[in-house]
Amino acid sequence: MRTILIAPYNPKWQTNFQEIKTFLEKVILNCCLAIEHVGSTAVVGLAAKPIIDIDIVIDSDFELIKSKLERLGYYHNGDQGIKGREVFKYTKTSLATHHLYVCQKESVELQKHIAFRNHLRQNPATKEAYARVKQQAAKMHPHDIDGYLDVKGKFIEKIYRKLGL
């Protein structure tokens, strides 16, 4: 049974992201618009699950990026019920644990990821409140990822509404 762990901020998360980004750029740079570090590990000072969240931003050929990611050891795992965000799983262990998503540039999900990240970076009080919510959610649901996500999701939705998303 996996325990949900919220770790204090670790500057190594920025390094982990750069390593993954460099790994990806070797093969996909010419067919993507950006590689974005999103999620809690992208916000300096924010406690988080130590998993790097990454959005690859594209404006056209999903099949091309999919084939290039497969060559790097990823497999496509569908959208997992979230429209506008295609999930890729990494089959090797040479990189830090990460979630990789491919989003079209006009994707609402991409806009949410970027806006939420930027809002937390610019609003220390909201960042601290979010850290507390995540820590409480992990205490309430230490082995239930759906319960954990539900609790923190309510906080995220409030921020989305505030941001007009």
Query: pLDDT tens, 57-74?
Result: 999 889 999 999 999 999
Q: How far apart are alpha carbons 116 and 107 in whole angstroms?
A: 14
8 has pLDDT over 90: yes
Q: What is the pTM of this model?
A: 0.93
The pLDDT value given to residue 43: 98
The pLDDT value given to residue 92: 83
CB 47 within 8 A of CB 136: no
Q: Terminus-to-terminus CA distance in the chain, angstroms?
A: 35
The pLDDT value given to residue 160: 96
Q: What is the tens place of the pLDDT at every residue in 11-57? A: 999 999 999 999 999 999 889 999 999 999 999 999 999 999 999 99
**Residue with tokens 């974005």, as numbered in its chain:** 36
CATH of 12-162, one of 3.40.50.2300, 1.10.3720.10, 3.30.460.10, 3.40.50.12280: 3.30.460.10
Q: What is the tens place of the pLDDT at every residue in 88-144? A: 999 888 899 999 999 999 999 999 999 999 999 999 999 999 999 999 999 999 999
The pLDDT value given to residue 91: 84
Instruction: State mean pLDDT over 72-88.
Output: 94
Exposed, middle or buried: residue 30 (CB in 10 Å: 0-12, 13-18, 19+)? exposed
The pLDDT value given to residue 84: 87
Q: What is the DSSP string of the chain?
A: -PPP--BPP-THHHHHHHHHHHHHHHHHGGG-SEEEEESGGGSTT--B-S-EEEEEEESS-HHHHHHHHHHTTEEE---TT-TT-EEEEE--SSS--EEEEEEETT-HHHHHHHHHHHHHHH-HHHHHHHHHHHHHHHHH-TT-HHHHHHHHHHHHHHHHHHTT-
Could you state, in order of their start, the residue ranges of all structural domains in the chain? Answer: 12-162
